[in-house]
Every structure is written in C-alpha cells, then in structure tokens.
C-alpha cells in the first residue's frame, strides 16, 4: 500500500493484542476508538484510571486528544474525570500506557474490550505572541453561551 505525503507513522504497542485485533482508523470520521483491557467494576461515586492497554510514539510536533465516545455515558454511566485528556508526544516510553480517567455516576461493570473512549492526533499549537491592547476592533457576539439566543 502506498503512503500519501500526509500520512504519519505512529508506533504502537499493545498490552493485550487480542483486545485490539481490529485496531484501525474508523471509516467515517477522524477519531479512533480505544478499549478497556480488563473488566472494570465501579461503585457510584468511585474514580478510576481505566487501563487502555496502548502505548504510542506520536510523531514529532503532534499530540493526541482523548475523549469519551458519544455512547460512553449512556452505556456505562461514567464521565471522563478530566473532561478531555491531552497526551503529548513526550509520553512515549515503553511502559507509558494510556488510561482513561472516569467517575461513575452509578454502580457499573464495564466488560473487557469495551470501546469506552476515542482519540485523534493533532498538530501542536504553534508558538504564539500575545499583544496587549485596550480595544478589540470587532462586533460583540453577546457573551459566552449566547449562540442561538435572541
């Protein structure tokens, strides 16, 4: 298979390759699912680092964003405790396995191999110089949370 110029190579290591037998980029969209590698049992209110069983070496200049799948709360009643995780490309050691930080809103057992979260790889933010000004020359939108209000 020929690689395009935009294709990036990511080295990946699995703790349990059987859990990730069908690991690949999804056909629709830009996010890639990650799975639990153990059965996870939580009581309501309990916090846990859920082992995802993957370690990766991201390309230089890239980072990964890790978020719940849209069905994670509906299926398991857990919330991602840190809202969104950022995995920078310095987190690339042989034992730097990714985890998903969850808070249970109810008693739950999540099966081994459950697709619980997803990630995408993005370029790092460029260097930014901030310029302090007294006025921004733009129209006001109405403040945070004003979209769609009259």
Among the residues of the chain, which ranges form H helices? Answer: 72-76
Taking the mean position of all CA atoms in its chain, how far away is CA 106?
22
Q: Which residues pair with 11 in a beta bridge?
A: 57
Coil, strand or helix at 133:
coil
For CA atoms 71, 84, 8, 89, the dihedral sign is negative
Q: Does residue 139 have an active-site annotation?
A: no
Q: List Cβ neighbours of 54 (8 Å cut-off, separation of 6 or more).
A: 12, 13, 14, 15, 20, 34, 97, 98
- For residue range 62-117, list pLDDT tens digits in order: 999 999 999 999 999 999 999 999 999 999 999 999 999 999 999 999 999 999 99
Catalytic option among 88, 94, 95, 134: 88
Of 123, 142, 15, the closest CA to residue 63 belongs to 123
pLDDT of residue 147 exceeding 80: no
pLDDT of residue 2 exceeding 60: no
For residue 3, name the pLDDT band (cuts at 50, 70, 90): low
For residue 24, name the pLDDT band (cuts at 50, 70, 90): low
Note the pTM of the prediction, 2 decimals.
0.83
């Amino acid at each position: 298979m020929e690689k395009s110029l935009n294709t990036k190579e990511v080295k990946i290591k699995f703790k349990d390759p059987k859990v990730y037998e069908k690991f690949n980029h999804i056909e629709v969209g830009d996010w890639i699912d990650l799975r639990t590698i153990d059965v996870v049992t939580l009581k309501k209110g309990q916090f846990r680092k859920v082992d995802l069983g993957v370690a990766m070496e991201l390309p230089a200049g890239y980072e990964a964003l890790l978020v719940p799948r849209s069905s994670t709360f509906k299926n398991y009643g857990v919330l991602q405790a840190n809202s969104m995780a950022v995995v920078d490309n310095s987190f690339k050691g042989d034992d730097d396995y990714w985890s998903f930080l969850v808070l249970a809103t109810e008693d739950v057992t999540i099966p081994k191999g459950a697709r619980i979260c997803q990630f995408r790889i993005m370029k790092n933010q460029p260097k930014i110089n901030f310029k302090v000004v007294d006025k921004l020359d733009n129209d006001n939108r109405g403040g945070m949370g004003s979209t769609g209000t009259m």
